[in-house]
A and B are shown apart, each in its own frame.
Chain A
Amino acid sequence: MVSAAIVVWALGWWINVWLANGTASDNRVVMMLIPAVFGLTVVIVWELLVRGYAVNPVILPAPSAILERMLVEGPRLWADFHQTIIKGAMTGYVIGGLAALGIAVLADRSDFLTRGILPVGSFMAALPIVGIAPIFVKWFGSDWESKAAVVAVMVFFPILVNTVAGLRDTQPMQRDLMRTYGAGYWPTLIKLRLPSAMPFIFNGLKIATTLALIGAIVAEFFGSPTVGMGFRISTSFGQLALDMVWAEIVIAAIAGSAFYGVMTLIEKRVTFWHPSQR
Chain B
Amino acid sequence: MKSVLPVLTVVGAVLLFWLIAVVPMNMHLVADQAQRDGLSVSPQTPVERQAFSGIGLSLRNLHLVPRTYDFVRPRLPAPQQVAEEMYATIVQKKITSKRSLVYHGWVTLAPTLLGFFIGTGLGIVLAVGIVYSRVMDRSVMPWAIVSQTIPILALAPMVIVVLGSMGIQGVFPKSLIAAYLSFFPVVVGMVKGLRAPDTMQLDLLRTYHASNSQGFWALRLPASVPYLFASLKIGISASLVGTIVAELPTGAKAGFGARMLVGDQYGQPLVSWAALFAAALTAAALVGLFSLIERITLRRMGMQGA
Contacts and interface: CB of A to CB of B under 8 A. Distances in A.
Interface string B135-173: 101111111001011110111011001100110000000
A43 to B, nearest CB: 12
Interface in A116-145: 116-120, 123, 126-128, 130-135, 138-139
Interface residues of B, number: 57
A233 B149 contact: no
Contact of A134 (B140, B157, B261): B261
Given A37-B139, A115-B3, A222-B264, A130 B245 contact: yes
B9 A116 contact: yes
A252 B10 contact: no
A38 B140 contact: yes
Given A59-B162, A245-B158, A120 B135 contact: no
B2 A126 contact: no
Contacts of A46: none
B153 A214 contact: yes
B284 A38 contact: no
Interface string A19-59: 11100010000010011011100000000000000000011
A245 B157 CA distance: 12
A35 B138 contact: yes
A221 interface: yes
Contacts of B165: 58-59
Contact of B149 (A16, A209, A234): A209
B287 A20 contact: no
The DSSP consensus for interface residues of chain A is helix
B89 interface: no
A34 B248 contact: no
A249 to B, nearest CB: 6
A218 B134 contact: no
A218 B157 CA distance: 9
Contact of B244 (A113, A131, A245): A131
A13 B161 CA distance: 33
B280 interface: yes
Given A131-B279, A135-B264, A20 B151 contact: no
Contacts of B248: 130-131, 133-134, 218, 221-222
Contact of B11 (A114, A120, A127, A210): A120
Given A112-B9, A130-B244, A221 B151 contact: no
Interface string B270-304: 00110110011001100100000000000000000
B120 interface: no
Nearest to B9: A116
A268 to B, nearest CB: 16
A34 B233 CA distance: 31
A16 B138 contact: yes
B189 interface: no
Contacts of A37: 139
Contacts of B245: 128, 130, 218
B188 interface: no
Nearest to A218: B154
Across chains A and B, which 7 residue pairs bring their CB atoms closest together, nearest first?
A116-B6, A116-B10, A217-B154, A38-B139, A213-B151, A35-B142, A260-B149
30 contacts: A16-B135, A17-B135, A20-B134, A20-B139, A35-B140, A115-B6, A116-B3, A116-B7, A116-B9, A117-B10, A118-B3, A126-B237, A127-B284, A128-B240, A130-B241, A130-B248, A131-B244, A131-B275, A132-B276, A133-B248, A218-B248, A221-B248, A222-B248, A222-B249, A222-B264, A242-B162, A252-B150, A252-B154, A257-B146, A261-B149
Interface of B: 2-3, 5-11, 14, 75, 134-135, 137-143, 146, 148-151, 153-155, 157-158, 161-162, 165-166, 233, 237, 240-241, 244-245, 248-249, 256-257, 260-261, 264, 269, 272-273, 275-276, 279-280, 283-284, 287
Interface of A: 13, 16-17, 19-21, 25, 31, 34-35, 37-39, 58-59, 112-120, 123, 126-128, 130-135, 138-139, 209-210, 213-214, 217-218, 221-222, 230, 233-234, 237, 242, 245, 249, 252-253, 256-257, 259-261
